[in-house]
Structure 1
Amino acid sequence: MTDTLPIVLDRIRGYWASRRTCGLVASAMGLRVARLIALVEEGSLDAATALSLALEAEAVTLCVAPIALPRGL
């Protein structure tokens, strides 16, 4: 499978949904990838650079573990 910006964004969202990673970090990195998609669409950033930055954002997402919620929440 070839990585694309939407695929990377979906994976980041999946990490968040499965609580594999910190939701705050995953949310921020998801917003970053969404911004990269917008920049490519408007012609302000080339697709190869955007994909490299998106994969970097995915790696950052996976580096931060979630914090356990307090009991009762």
Structure 2
Amino acid sequence: MQRETSLPAIQDRVRGLWASRRVCGLIALACGLRIGRIISLHAKGRLGEEEALRMAMETEAVALLFAPLPRMERYGVSL
């Protein structure tokens, strides 16, 4: 099965990684914001299709580099 390589699909995958806690949430959140910026720049014509896809795929790869940190307990609540 081949992965979809559209900008929204890449953004959805990064959001899914964050939601499933498979990667560091801090990094995945920042990567999701970066991909959102890439999508906006592409929509405004500031980035070409190939460049935007390359940058989004690189950002997805960065999100996958960092494992999640252990959960913290604060005031009896798991964060």
The answer, yes or no, to whether TM exceeds 0.5 is yes
The structure, 1 or 2, with the larger RCO (C-alpha pairs under 8 Å, 6+ apart) is 1
SS at match of 2:60: helix
SS of 1:21 mapped into structure 2? coil
Query: For residue 21 of structure 1, what is the aligned residue in structure 2?
Result: 23
Write 1 or 2 for the structure with the bigger share of strand: 2
Q: TM-score, normalised by structure 1?
A: 0.94
Q: What does residue 14 of structure 2 align with?
A: 12
Shift of 1:67: 0.5
Structure 2, unaligned stretches of length 5 or more? none
Larger radius of gyration: 2
Identity across the alignment (%)? 48
**Counterpart-to-counterpart distance in 1, 2:71 and 2:4:** 36
Higher helix share: 1
Post-superposition, which runs of at least 4 consecutive aligned residues in structure 1 deviate over 3 A?
none
**2:41 match:** 39
* Residue aligning to 1:64: 66
| Alignment RMSD (CA, Å) | 1.1
